[in-house]
Amino acid sequence: MSNRKINMKEKYRLLTRDLDWEYSYRDYKEVFPQQEFEGIKITDWSKWEDPFRLTMDAYWKYQAEKEKKLYAILDAFSQNNSQLNVTDARYVNAIKLFLTGISPGEHQAAMGFGQVGRQLGGVGARVACQMQAIDELRHVQTQIHAMSHYNKFFDGFQDFSHMHDRVWYLSVSKSFFDDARTAGPFEYMVAIGFSFEYVLTNLLFVPFMSGAAYNGDMATVTFGFSAQSDEARHMTLGLEIIKFLLEQHPDNLPIVQRWINKWFWRGTRMLSLVAMMMDYMLPNKVMSWQEAWEVYFEEAGGSLFKDLARYGIEMPDYAQTAIAEKEHISHQVWSMFYNYGHATAFHTWMPTEKEMDWLSEKYPNTFDKYYRPRFEKWREMEAAGERFYNPTLPMLCQTCQIPMGFTDMEDPTSIFYRQSEYDGERYNFCSDGCKDIFDHEPEKYVQAWLPVHQIYQGNCGGPSMEDVLGNYYKINLGVDNMDFHGSPDEERWNIWHNLQPAEDKLKQAS
Amino acid sequence: MSKAFIALQDNEESHYIVEAIEQDNPTATVIYQPAMIRIENEGRLVINRATVEEKMGRDWEIPALHVNLITLGGNVDEDDDQFSLTWKQ
Ligand SMILES: [Fe+2]
Ligand SMILES: [Fe+2]
Ligand SMILES: [Zn+2]
């Protein structure tokens, strides 16, 4: 009996059962006040089973090992000036968008799991949330460390935290996490733990990070895969929460299904930015957005939903719309950002001839028919010294906060548009998915901080573009924004590599 | 049938794990992509501690998998000797 080495299952049981206690002088409902208001019914927390059975000692041991590996590579990266080895300086713009748009979401996730973990009555679920909160904090820290190196050499990184709370396109990811964190604890778990982590983060971290490696960016692939090594555990937690809720009480099914529908749609809208990063911002391509979508949503997500069918869970509403959009979304979002390239803290550009050929090959049904002619026109305008910028402010979707630029999959040449009325006001939506979300909780979404409305209401520094973009957003005008061609980033890159811009070559030749 | 899968960072340690997976899951497919290795198998994929130890020539414990793990698909079950990913149908 003595000296018996306890096994993993037993250790995990001791951690997650034995550490809890009965609340003898406080009412249970006072200790966990948020557990019931969403309508979720929990009858027995002891049925919670975390398949990874990770104990605290093993957690610290392996997380420390991950950190040591990561920082060894980041040090080597900066000591060797490896920023010079990325494919070309356009690539760095994908990383700017990552740091400003995605990394703050890691911080939001850290706070979210900290808050929600406190509200769950089961100690197994609380321990898992605590570990995930620490993981997410690690992710944001390592991402900021990795990018602080890029900040020394490229424009647009300097005010990422200030920008996150203000800039129009960053409100897409900010509002996504704000929405989740202002929901109840179980909706948060289904939103972030299941719909985002299990169904969608692979699309963000796996093919994009493999692409970073293929573009010579060891820093990004290293923080990306280091973060992703925790994601496998997060995905498992997300799946466990779904199974647990569905096994606890049959009344939970319709609530959980509605959350899955909502957060799948919110997640796919947010990931349309990643679609454009993959197809347009990686000079060396690993796979197209469409291919990534097919492997990680249609195939992996398909298996997942088949497995969950035994609980009565179905594929999310509008999954078919999202599947049809895979051939369009990256081109449409890149068009939006190209249009508003004067209002972004990163550079945009038109693809080269070779890159357009790649897009034609990868998107045989859509690229030549709908997008290539427009892009070629824009390229001609640029060559004639009239690079196109859209001078108006876009109308935003009330739910996802993306400009209204997605088209109708029945007729891909016309913009999709829906409207709802609430309390005498009209609200606009990019899709049926976004409209459904609003219609279910209009009192929540009428409060959305929509960047364009805020500009018109005079809450963003003043009436002129300079006031908003320069003073309020803190974009260095003429430096961080506008086309990549002619940017200080491009100029420095050419000097470092003894490259000459094409125009200079022409001048010398004549 | 659904594919259970795992993706590992492409490094020395992972190469032994991949060898062990190939031996214990003869029908598995191994796909090499930049910086990562993805292994998939219909229905179920297992990693046995004993096989990995034999390939590495040293002690290895299942939670060490976390260090090189990128992503996975399937229901996880883990104990001291085996890690498995399964789709129930
Ligand atoms: Fe994360
Ligand atoms: Fe995560
Ligand atoms: Zn929308």
pLDDT digits (tens, 9 = 90+) for B4-51: 999 999 999 999 999 999 999 999 999 998 889 999 999 999 999 999
Whether ipTM tops 0.85, in short, is: yes
Q: For residue A288, is it within any domain?
A: yes
Cβ-nearest to A202 among B71, B75, B87: B71
B7: left (phi over 0), alpha (psi -120 to 50) or beta: beta
Spell out which residues of chain B touch residue A210, defining contact as CB-CB under 8 Å: 33-36
B82: helix, strand or coil? strand
Q: For residue A472, is it within any domain?
A: no
Q: What are phi and psi of B64, to 5 degrees?
A: -65, -15
Calpha distance A379→A383 (Å, rounded): 6
pLDDT digits (tens, 9 = 90+) for A292-345: 999 999 999 999 999 999 999 999 999 999 999 999 999 999 999 999 999 999
pLDDT digits (tens, 9 = 90+) for A10-51: 888 888 777 788 889 999 999 999 999 999 999 999 898 877
- Give how far A126 is from chain B: nearest CA, Å: 19
Note the pLDDT of residue A4. 65
Q: CATH number of the domain that A279 lies in?
A: 1.10.620.20
Cα A288 to averaged position of ligand 2 atoms, centre (Å): 24
Q: For residue A155, is it within any domain?
A: yes
Amino acid in position A319: A
Q: For residue A127, is it within any domain?
A: yes
Q: What is the CA radius of gyration of chain A?
A: 24
Q: For residue A489, is it within any domain?
A: no
With CB atoms and an 8 Å threshold, state whether B71 touches A236: no
- Give how far B44 is from chain A: nearest CA, Å: 12
With CB atoms and an 8 Å threshold, state whether B77 touches A51: yes
Note the pLDDT of residue A508. 65
| Beta carbons within 10 angstroms of residue A61's beta carbon | 15
Burial class (CB in 10 A: 0-12, 13-18, 19+), A43: exposed
Cα B36 to averaged position of ligand 3 atoms, centre (Å): 34
Calpha distance A89→A79 (Å, rounded): 19
With CB atoms and an 8 Å threshold, state whether B75 touches A51: yes
Whether A244 has a pLDDT exceeding 50, the answer reads yes
Q: For residue A418, is it within any domain?
A: no
In percent, the amount of chain A with pLDDT more than 90 equals: 77
A109 vs A286, residue with greater confidence:
A109
Calpha distance A54→A166 (Å, rounded): 39
Tell me the sheet residues that pair with B41. B4
Q: For residue A334, is it within any domain?
A: no
What pTM did the predictor assign? 0.93
- Give how far A371 is from chain B: nearest CA, Å: 29
With CB atoms and an 8 Å threshold, state whether A62 touches B67: yes
With CB atoms and an 8 Å threshold, state whether A8 touches B62: yes
Does residue A181 contact residue A188 with C-beta atoms inside 8 Å?
Answer: yes
Q: How far is CA B10 from CA A68, A230, B18, B22, B26, in A?
A: 17, 17, 10, 15, 21
Q: Indicate which of B61, B76, B77, B87 best probes the interface with A, i.e. most A CBs within 10 Å of its own CB.
A: B76
Q: Indicate which of B39, B60, B78, B82 best probes the interface with A, i.e. most A CBs within 10 Å of its own CB.
A: B78
Name the CATH architecture for the domain at B3-86: Alpha-Beta Complex (3.90)
Range of the domain at A134: 8-17+29-327
Q: Give the residue on B whose Cα is nearest the Cα of A5.
A: B80
| Beta carbons within 10 angstroms of residue B31's beta carbon | 12
Q: For residue A420, is it within any domain?
A: no
Note the pLDDT of residue A1. 45
Cα A137 to averaged position of ligand 1 atoms, centre (Å): 8
Number of A/B CB contacts below 8 angstroms equals 98
Spell out which residues of chain A touch residue B2, defining contact as CB-CB under 8 Å: 302-303, 306-307
Cα A236 to averaged position of ligand 3 atoms, centre (Å): 28
Number of domains in chain A: 1
Q: DSSP letter for A46, please.
A: G
Q: Indicate which of A13, A62, A138 best probes the interface with B, i.e. most B CBs within 10 Å of its own CB.
A: A62
B7: helix, strand or coil? strand
* Nearest bound ligand to the CA of residue A428: 3
With CB atoms and an 8 Å threshold, state whether B72 touches A235: yes
Q: What is the CA radius of gyration of chain B?
A: 12
Task: Pick the range with the lowest mean pLDDT from A14-23, A53-62, A417-426.
Answer: A14-23
